[in-house]
Structure 1
Amino acid sequence: MLSQTLAITFLLFIGIFPNPDFKENSLYPVTSINPVSVTYDALIAKNGVLPSEEVFNLAIQGWDKMKDNLKSKILTVIDFSLPSTAKRMWIIDPEKGEILLNSVVSHGRNSGDLMAKTFSNIPESFKSSLGFYKTAETYSGKHGYSLRLDGLEKGFNDQARNRAIVIHGADYAKEDFAKSVGRLGRSLGCPALPTELSAQAIDLIKDGSLLFIFGKDDNYLAKSSLIKA
């Protein structure tokens, strides 16, 4: 019953579920509730830990604007306002109301130690870049099975291809590493995942899904067009 209620609530939010009480092709005017909050609460009830509601809402805003240009409706959220010891990456199926994967993820070595504090779009900065990305093709490279990313936000992450910012597995991104060192190891800017989970994650999100990387950065929050209502 919860799954059915969640699905209907989310369809109301994204504007594709017709209200049978209105004439054909009219849409239900959701004005009395915040459907994102309802969806968030239902996801919490069903799946447990999620990113903060603020981060989730920002991710959903971008997803709603981009969903018609995506091959896959899967949404990945990385919250770099959390420490690297936390499971701060979520792969979400918004339409089914399910968390498909929750994992730790590394940030760039020049973004910070335990916490990612600074971000950059500049090549050779070795920092993480914020914003929305579209996942692209897979390949086998230095770190094995990897996933290319295309940054969608000019000035914030549109150099992702030039910088070779990809999703890949790394031994330094494992929780055991964090337990021994006090933080995850850091990448050259890539969102690196534990090697035992990386292939599963890549297969879930490859070929045209949306990835949102959040961080506490006033410049991004003020200027990103994808998170403005």
Structure 2
Amino acid sequence: MSSYSRFHRRHFLKFAGGAAASSLLMPSAALAAGAGDGWTKLLDRARQALDQHGDVIKHRDRLVLVDFSLPSATPRMMLVDLARGRRQLLRVSHGRGSDPAHSGWLRSFSNVSGSNASSRGAYITAATYQGKHGRSQRLVGLEESNNNAEARAIVIHGAWYSNDDVAARLGKLGRSEGCFAVSEAQIDPLLDWLGPERLLYADRV
């Protein structure tokens, strides 16, 4: 079994402290609380994607949701550990093409090469690698709305412009070229926790 396919509890718990003070570690059952809750709607869409793409998504014990309805300064990437009944919130950037004025709000999606925009829909996590942003993880888009993800090099990586101090100073994160960029402090524990062949689902609700 790959080291990335093992759940390292000590790494997961690191998210709850230090620079990630705004993060949550709560029972995932809380996702079902409250009619109209955006996270509940997003989780429902993710479960539908798991059913639709179950032949390629081998691991269904945990997944990642990204709610692009929220501003970039707000933690809007949710790690959902379905097996252990826990969830975690992190900050994550969106693409500059989705927010040309750098307002901190995603305005539009695009799947077009060169758009530098974020794409919506279901992704499967693939291999990790060392790139210009350090340790990163490739993503494969599973829907018409994001099936150019590999060609566009849309990945998960760490970046200084997603660090908590940027959000505190500017009231928003910097922008990526469409990648899911989290803080430099959180990228390693995130990738250790996530591993390959799991679902990342991004959308607005």
Give TM-score scaled by structure 2 length.
0.77
The answer to whether residue 103 in structure 2 is matched with residue 116 in structure 1 is no
Q: How does 1:165-184 map to 2 (within 5 A)?
A: 165-184=154-173
Matched with 1:55 is: 42
Q: Any residues of structure 2 matched to 1:98-117 within 5 Å, and which?
A: 98-99=86-87, 101-112=88-99, 113-117=103-107
1:158 and 2:147 aligned: yes
Q: Which amino acid in the other structure matches residue 170 of structure 1?
A: A
Task: Give % identity.
Answer: 41
What's the counterpart of residue 15 of structure 1? none
Report how many aligned residue pairs link the two structures: 172
2:57 pairs, out of 70, 80, 88, with: 70
Moved over 6 A (4+): none
Structure 2 equivalent of residue 213 of structure 1: 202
Unaligned 5+ runs, structure 1: 1-39, 217-229
For 1:76-155, list aligned pairs within 5 A.
76-99=64-87, 101-112=88-99, 113-154=103-144
Letter in 2 for 1:177: V
RMSD (Å), alpha carbons? 2.1
Match for residue 187 of structure 1 among 164, 173, 176? 176
Matching residue of 2:30: 43
Question: What TM-score, normalized by structure 1, do the two folds share?
Answer: 0.70
Provide the residue aligned with 1:29 in structure 2: none
- The answer as to whether partners of 2:65 and 2:200 remain within 8 angstroms in 1 is yes
Q: Work out which of the two has the higher radius of gyration on C-alpha atoms and give 1 or 2.
A: 1
| Cα distance change, pair 51–90 in 1 and its aligned pair in 2 (3 A) | farther
Report how far residue 159 of structure 1 moved: 0.6
Write the deviation string for residues 137-157 of structure 1: whole angstroms up to 9, x where unpaired: 000010000000000002x11
